[in-house]
Structure 1
Amino acid sequence: MIADAAPQDEQLVKDLGADAVLPRGNTVPELVRKEVPGGVNGLVDTAGIAPTALRAVRDGGRVASSLRAS
């Protein structure tokens, strides 16, 4: 599992089971692609960043978001 986190939360996220913790910010999709060049199979978005984060998902991958569709 790859996660993003603020610096002060990095250890907590690792302790919760993340294999890789990336710095939170607009470059997360590019950093994910460095870890998984073909893109990840799935993305769970609870922060409302899905439009930006979609760049990290492979073609045919899945996205789950906690945001309500408008």
Structure 2
Amino acid sequence: MHSGHFASADKLVAQAVRSFLRQSPPAQTDPGLGSIGSMRDAADELDEIVADAYRKRREETWRDINVE
């Protein structure tokens, strides 16, 4: 900042963080149940599970309430 290379401390810190992130290896993600990547990879299967659940719910006539 003293040399005039950065306009503010915020700009200096932002550049330092960008440099750090470029140099650091990416974090390993857990492919367990909490992984968004796993869900994205299985999107078709998840869509079918949801569609099947809706079909089964429509077949459950006990859920229908006659309000008339």
Q: TM-score band, normalised by the shorter chain?
A: under 0.3
Q: Could you say which structure has the higher helix fraction?
A: 2
Output the TM-score relative to the length of structure 1.
0.18
Q: Could you say which structure has the higher strand fraction?
A: 1
Task: Give the structure with higher Rg (CA).
Answer: 2
Output the TM-score relative to the length of structure 2.
0.18
Higher RCO, 1 vs 2 (CA within 8 Å, ≥6 residues apart): 1
